[in-house]
Amino acid sequence: MSTVSTHCPYCALQCAQALTPGPTGVEVTGRQFPTNRGGLCQKGWTSASVLRAPDRLTAPLVRGVDGELAETTWEVALDLVAERLRAMRAEHGADAVAVFGGGGLTNEKAYQLGKFARVALGTANIDYNGRFCMSSAAAAANRSLGIDRGLPFPLTDVGGAQAVLLLGSNLAETMPPAVAHLAGARAAGGLVVVDPRVSATASLTDDGQGLHLQPVPGTDLCVLLGLLHVVLAEGLDDTAYVSERTTGVDDTRRLAATWWPERVEQVSGVPAALLRETARLLAAASPARGGSGAYVLTGRGVEQSSQGTATVNAAINLALALGLPGRVGSGWGAVTGQGNGQGGREHGQKSDQLPGYRMVDDPGARAHVAGVWGVDPATLPGKGRPAVELLDSLGREGGPRALLVHGANLRVSAPNARHVAARLDALDLLVVCDVVPSETALRADVVLPVLQWAEEEGTMTSLEGRVLRRRKAIDPPPGPRSELEVWRELAARLEAPGTWDTDAALVFDELARASAGGRADYGGLSHARLDAEPDLFWPCPATDGTPHPGTPRLFLDGFPTPDGRARFVPVDDRGPAEDVRAGAPAHLVTGRVLQHYQSGAQTRRVDELVAASPGAFVEIHPRLADLHGIGAGDLVRLTSVRGSVAAPARVTDRVRPDTVFMPFHWPGEESVNAVTNDATDPVSGMPEFKVCAVTVSRAEARRDCPGAPVPTVNVTVTTAEVPA
């Protein structure tokens, strides 16, 4: 086969790649594209290795009476699943069956999964792992700006900014090619990174290239309130913009007045002088003061919180006060994490949404989508449970008795993971569609092997709202099937109404019709158009004449709110759901490492990545390590009220003395999500992954720990992967 142009299977940066099949495998090369400029990170360069994973699933598996999974035929597996689902629905009602999706599914699969849940199964109980990723940013953006698109502008716009405030995102390790877009701010000394760790991204502020604010974990909201206080108190706000383009500033001003910098310093540990310097730096870069542009960007570090929505609203309030959203070269945005985290939530995987970002309880939305699906609107279920609530209800009285999982590895990725594992074990039926035997698949009753990246056609939506074509480069091995085919076969067995296409282009055409007129309008897009015009952003409505050009930049002419104005949303800080205390005196924060992605189900099967990062570790400050008699390489046990984990120590001053850090890519004893907090944000349903209280203890003396020394991550290493 010839070289095929496509995009990386990992994060929402969706770096452009070229795949060339050969006799020994698939060669991956970077392709010139605005987001990655020809560069790839280590995960992208090695992405083809997963295509030849030695434990690739190729035949359906069914758990027998002996408790073991055994291979069977597709017909037997699908008949079994359909029969069990029919019986459960007949005895317990449609909501006895639940569906859990993933932010890595293509737009076509995300759409068809939402349709399958609501039409073929008739259940309200569908949600997805994007609830763990972008839900707080989405909720905040909808409240304030009237629409949720991670970045309401092309990423390339950020490159010209004089100042960038980056909160809770370690781009240098999670999206290395994106670092190139911070070059302008760094050159101007205007990159400000808010992170309790001296992460690889925080290190980019060294040598006069910016500022690093290192708050106590869980205090990001009060830091933002303190910055807004300075902007308003010192008259640094854009009064004309606020007057003409926003509402609600007075209530926000009153709350911000209570967070003067010295008070913020007492709570967060960020020096008052540094807060004032940051606010003045952002103001100087703003259009109102003749600067070349400023951005406020948020990531999971501040969003995965029980007050994540409020924190993002505080970031938007700061951006509005400075007059940034809706101006070319300035703005607010959220850095989406999962590959299709944006498209995955736009088209029906969330418990409260229908395709096109329509709300499931809106009668007009229900009528439109039901018309496309060919069903009576009255037959569509209402709102279901958000992810954490849904997972907690599994196997309980009145809760779902069966769960279908698509594109998620819940035993590793969910908060309070051992509790989730217990709920999964309580089910009468667990069906998992996967490419490899993930930790979740290995405990399923039925495992269905499906296609993966490079083996199928489809589309993805990047963190910018750019709709991209994912193309087939190789034939799959015999056995696996597309989820689109799986859902068609199950829908037929369940005698579901409507059409169930398996051609991704036809499914996308139906998605376009279903989304037409919604906030996330894909009505003017198709596979054929995206092949011809690979630079289209939603919303892109259908037209009768000249095709709509797409919308790279939102808000230039107003906000999609009833009065066309953005809203200041008054928020206040109440702290994390679980703070340190006598029995648990250290903060635990979690995150990713350069070599691995999400639950590690893919990257832990790539030899080069495993060699570079073979296992979990605990970053601990020398002072905290000395207090507990811990040396480099010693096994450290972290214990919360939910459980404990253990991993070798990396003694380093990269982390605060009151804080430990542990990455979340590993299962078993190294699964940090066994101790993370499943308390949720009351607005978004986002769990509080990013901070909880733990006890630190030395579990075992130094052991052989390959790769234990902290890798050097500096500007040269990072930008070497991002050709200019």
Q: How far apart are CA 625 and CA 116, in angstroms?
A: 52
Q: Among 305, 334, 363, identify where a domain stops.
A: 334
The per-residue pLDDT for range 513-540, each reduced to its tens digit, is: 999 999 999 999 999 999 999 989 999 9
Query: Which band of pLDDT confidence, cut at 50, 70 and 90, is reported for residue 702?
Result: low
The enclosing domain of 227 has a CATH number of 3.40.228.10
Do 595 and 649 lie in one domain? The reply is yes
- DSSP reduced 3-state for 250: helix
Give the total number of structural domains in the chain.
3
The per-residue pLDDT for range 394-447, each reduced to its tens digit, is: 999 999 999 999 999 999 999 999 999 999 999 999 999 999 999 999 999 999
Do 274 and 162 lie in one domain? The reply is yes
Query: Which band of pLDDT confidence, cut at 50, 70 and 90, is reported for residue 708?
Result: very low
The CB density around residue 480, as the number of other CB atoms within 10 Å, is 23
Do 416 and 280 lie in one domain? The reply is no
The per-residue pLDDT for range 470-493, each reduced to its tens digit, is: 999 999 999 999 999 999 999 999
The per-residue pLDDT for range 160-209, each reduced to its tens digit, is: 999 999 999 999 999 999 999 999 999 999 999 999 999 999 999 999 99
Is 367 in contact with 150 (CB distance < 8 Å)? no
Tokens linked to 51: 């295509």
pLDDT of residue 717: 26
Q: How far apart are CA 656 and CA 580, in angstroms?
A: 14
Do 66 and 151 lie in one domain? The reply is no
Produce one character per residue of 444-465: b if its CB has 16 or more CB atoms within 10 Å, e if not. bbbbbbbbbbbbbbbbbbbbbb
Going by C-alpha positions, the residue among 627, 674, 677, 667 that lies closest to residue 649 is 627
Mean pLDDT of the region 686-696:
96
Question: Given the structure tokens 């004032």, which residue do they identify?
Answer: 276
- DSSP reduced 3-state for 599: coil
Q: How far apart are CA 245 and CA 239, in angstroms?
A: 10
The per-residue pLDDT for range 312-329, each reduced to its tens digit, is: 999 999 999 999 999 999
Catalogue the E-assigned strands of 288-445. Answer: 294-298, 331-334, 353-354, 358-359, 402-406, 429-434
| 157 lies in some domain | yes
| 266 lies in some domain | yes
Mean pLDDT of the region 549-563:
97
Residue span of the structural domain in which 247 resides: 142-334
Do 622 and 698 lie in one domain? The reply is yes
pLDDT of residue 493: 98
Do 276 and 302 lie in one domain? The reply is yes
Give Cα separations from 197 to 193, 325, 531, 657 (angstroms). 10, 29, 42, 10
| 10 lies in some domain | no
The enclosing domain of 125 has a CATH number of 3.40.50.740
| 347 lies in some domain | yes
Query: Which band of pLDDT confidence, cut at 50, 70 and 90, is reported for residue 134?
Result: confident
The enclosing domain of 640 has a CATH number of 2.40.40.20
Do 595 and 683 lie in one domain? The reply is yes
- Give me the phi and psi of 245, to 5 degrees please: -125, 0
- pLDDT exceeds cutoff 90 at 133: no
| 98 lies in some domain | yes
Residue spans of alpha helices (H) in 350-503: 363-373, 387-393, 410-413, 417-425, 483-493
Q: Among 477, 503, 529, identify where a domain stops.
A: 503
Q: Among 299, 334, 369, identify where a domain stops.
A: 334
| 564 lies in some domain | no
Do 114 and 157 lie in one domain? The reply is no
Angle between the 363-373 and 504-515 helix axes, to the nearest 10 degrees? Answer: 150
Torsion over CA: 189, 194, 195, 200 (sign): negative
pLDDT of residue 15: 97
How high is the mean pLDDT of the chain? Answer: 95
Do 281 and 374 lie in one domain? The reply is no
With residue 626 as reference, give the H or E element that holds it.
helix 622-627
Q: Return the ∠ at Cα 524 (arms to 518 and 529), rounded to 5°.
A: 145
Do 121 and 147 lie in one domain? The reply is no
- DSSP reduced 3-state for 624: helix
The per-residue pLDDT for range 277-306, each reduced to its tens digit, is: 999 999 999 999 999 999 999 999 999 999
Do 421 and 347 lie in one domain? The reply is yes
Burial label for 501, CB within 10 Å (0-12, 13-18, 19+), is middle
Do 301 and 353 lie in one domain? The reply is no
Mean pLDDT of the region 123-133:
94
Query: Which band of pLDDT confidence, cut at 50, 70 and 90, is reported for residue 24?
Result: confident
| 215 lies in some domain | yes
Going by C-alpha positions, the residue among 215, 193, 190 that lies closest to residue 202 is 193
| 536 lies in some domain | no
DSSP collapsed to 3 states, 607-620:
HHHHHHCCCCCEEE
Mean pLDDT of the region 117-122:
98
- pLDDT exceeds cutoff 70 at 150: yes
pLDDT of residue 202: 97
Give Cα separations from 216 to 271, 341, 530 (angstroms). 12, 28, 45
- pLDDT exceeds cutoff 80 at 704: no
Is 448 in contact with 432 (CB distance < 8 Å)? yes
